[in-house]
Structure 1
């Protein structure tokens, strides 16, 4: 399964670890121009947009590789062979299991043992490593990356890029770039049950409440809504999409400070009226037995079994889990069931798309700038991650082997190749057997590339949700901490986040009455919430003064 968990993780644990184990920052700023002129071995003189990158001599670069259990790393994948043929580059992959990736990445960076190229890093996860000097301020070197610069300019991504900037005005992550925001996670619902009860597909969260009430009345022994994606973050997907609908995302996308465009100020998310509103909504569902109280603690298999056995009718979903998990499960147990991923429900924040156009991307070890092949490495990264040809290669593979093109230039999977159930009877698999679309490289791009493997129904979903106005908090003004501020903030963040998450569950499950919300906010203040927000405000004002 190729899960696209769009998270802007704070990486608090990684931050604490990096601060504890961090490397000593370089004493003097180096001159990027000198580094470039001294380390051009293997690079191309005429590299540019539309030019196939190929190193002038065989080179090898080390790379951290997120090893997904559904398509485990193979050294003999066609991906690696063809990549070497096209670019003259071999990758020395340091494989780390998906389950341990963030922790191992943090340990390796902090110990100075990280490979040169560190992909699969979500925006804000780089924050933890800036002060140590362990990762490169990549914004100093983007002139080496013509495809990256071209897409940032053509797609007007400057405001998104600004959200990555640190206190020095630089940024340290090369993000994946989308032309348009892509929103994936939503709810899947048994539409055959809706038809039986003569109900419309819900469009708002209030509509969903009405639907769940009707389902419960018709099936008193069922919790209509039983959810998944709780490990390691309770309510990971649901708190994100529901919280977004109210203006204060939780779960996977929880951030302490959120931007309120209407007031022009940051607010503390976990203490806000917006956050309280969706907590109250879920409490109502649980109290009225419309939602399984185990929804926020059970594992994915337990949630899937309840859906497959007709013990629930609604569950969080994305495009791939709908096709790869839920429908095959139901086909075995309730063959006539019909399950559909419905457009993102609308809440108090209005008809919004809560996604950024930035995707997980690449950090680069600061050691790379001293490598004689540094320029060639930056050109290689630019081609693979940001050129149209590199993105096509990473996703589709090799024309004539894994895909074909018709007379109009439209891509089609080869007849004997399957992915995401598009050719279920094909003997070969694009990810497992060839290594393409592998979750490390195949991110971002034009809509036709991003949506290449979408089913017709998912394309219809995107037609509904894609054009919605981008949520205002997606592009907050920069408020980066200094090294000293980040150290202090990291100490506060851990306790605050743990307490917010703990009390959120208690309120939802009725273990703590919502009448105690004000007391809860007071408790957050005792955990330095106000001091934390003062740091954020100070950082925003300083950045605005120094960088505009």
Structure 2
């Protein structure tokens, strides 16, 4: 679970050139029909490799990889993860290490210069689209015959509809996603439960309940904003998690969840998200919180540190969180407040009721186009398939080495971290971190998997949260509507102007700097910025894809 949003800010656009492969250490791909003949690209590859097999290269190979270094657990070449991975697979990873804060930008620069490693993980859709036209990355869907574990999970969990969202106009996808058995909801609100108990407030079930809770808190503490939020990373309007989880429960997309085109099943067409009635309802709700002084207006501009300081000092009682930040930050922040306690509440429900929106796809892996030239190409594909998509590889990346970092397993469902090791609140106070000292549970390698796998490291508290969220009905994905290269170039020009205006006016509407009675004028302004042309382009792409691919 990352403290960063799964839908990251797009990197710089317009990249040409292909990524270089370092050290000639890659292998393999798909059938001759789709991926071409790879008979000379099989050095190190296993002759027989199927679901359930442990991948081990037939000769030592080195694979170049771009590696995001998380500030919470900075890269160490001495991590047990790397040495044990080599022991199991005969593969040595050769990382190009990049700080997380610079990752998207430096990835773009390296790919543009032709200097990117062969394996480019931690990429969020649709970031990959900017590299397609220049031929910098491979259409990974051409090579799935060499990835039996990936194919098995797609079939077993019926993920083809989710994958369709990532397909391009040619029917192919260029990013290998992390895959989940079910939609995984992590982000919500952290609420001071001692204050709730003191004031007799029940856990809120809906966004209306949240407003009522905040009113009660405000009445008892009139000098406080009860809700002061974090995650206001530009260029989005701010309070990106709050906008995200609110919007999805109203049937639209905002903040981190922003999607410019919103499917309307009533008309079987796409509409521009920022002009929909649902989007207006979200802004109306949040504007009401600000107007009543229930939500700190600085939530949309302040740094995370400022938001956390307010929570830590008792000036606010509600802040956005996920499972990790609840334990690692929120609870630690309030330790000096006598009797203070905090929980992550299930996402409040909106007008759509007990539903959840989202994809079962995670961030994923791009593969450099130059990687296909390596004699080890097929071995590389087999390695990626084992580490990121096999049950055994996922268990290794997440838990580490049985007997060294954990005991138990799936058979008895009794995973336990060794007592001297801590992770996300498990064995709190233990001297060693599973991530910092050992390199496991690293967001570059450990994501996706079955619900059982996902929950294997959850605390009882988090399992209760997930139980509530899992029971909710998952809304269907919109139909695919990929743009071709020329359309994408045009759409990106329109999208930039439109999104900038949506961001600016979203903030003004919420903060009361522009009255919501101006909504029609705002929509007219979007039309003046080519909103209708953009929507027509998207709907044309939808009709074309439906005709050509069904």
Q: Does 1:421 align with 2:422?
A: no
Aligned counterpart, 2:226: 224
Aligned counterpart, 2:484: 482
The SS at the match of 2:39 is helix
Q: Distance in 1 between matches of 2:34 and 2:278?
A: 45
Aligned counterpart, 1:300: 304
Contiguous gaps of at least 5 residues in structure 1: 25-29
Q: Distance in 2 between matches of 1:546 and 1:273?
A: 32
CA deviations over 1:422-475 (Å, ceiling 9, x no partner): 112322211001101111000000112112221111100100011211123xx1
Q: Does 1:323 align with 2:327?
A: yes
Q: Superposition RMSD on alpha carbons, in Å?
A: 1.6
Q: Deviation of residue 408 (structure 1)?
A: 2.6
1:79-478 pair list within 5 angstroms = 79-232=81-234, 233=236, 234-332=238-336, 334-405=337-408, 408=412, 410-472=414-476, 475-478=477-480
Aligned counterpart, 2:12: 14
Task: Select which of 519, 542, 545 maps to 2:544.
Answer: 542
Q: Distance in 1 between matches of 2:17 and 2:87?
A: 38
Q: Distance in 2 between matches of 1:388 and 1:274?
A: 40
CA deviations over 1:321-371 (Å, ceiling 9, x no partner): 111111111112x13012111111011122111221111111101111111
TM-score (norm: length of structure 1): 0.95
The SS at the match of 1:361 is strand
Aligned counterpart, 1:523: 525
4+ runs of 1 displaced by more than 3 Å? 21-24, 30-35
Asked if 2 retains the 8 angstrom alpha-carbon contact of 1:23 and 1:133, the reply is yes
Q: Deviation of residue 109 (structure 1)?
A: 1.6
Asked if 1 retains the 8 angstrom alpha-carbon contact of 2:455 and 2:463, the reply is yes
Q: Distance in 1 between matches of 2:47 and 2:294?
A: 64
Asked if 2 retains the 8 angstrom alpha-carbon contact of 1:35 and 1:369, the reply is no
Aligned counterpart, 2:3: 3
Q: Deviation of residue 492 (structure 1)?
A: 1.1
Asked if 2 retains the 8 angstrom alpha-carbon contact of 1:10 and 1:124, the reply is no
TM-score (norm: length of structure 2): 0.95
Q: Deviation of residue 415 (structure 1)?
A: 1.6
Asked if 1 retains the 8 angstrom alpha-carbon contact of 2:249 and 2:356, the reply is no
Q: Deviation of residue 410 (structure 1)?
A: 2.5
How many residue pairs get aligned? The number is 535
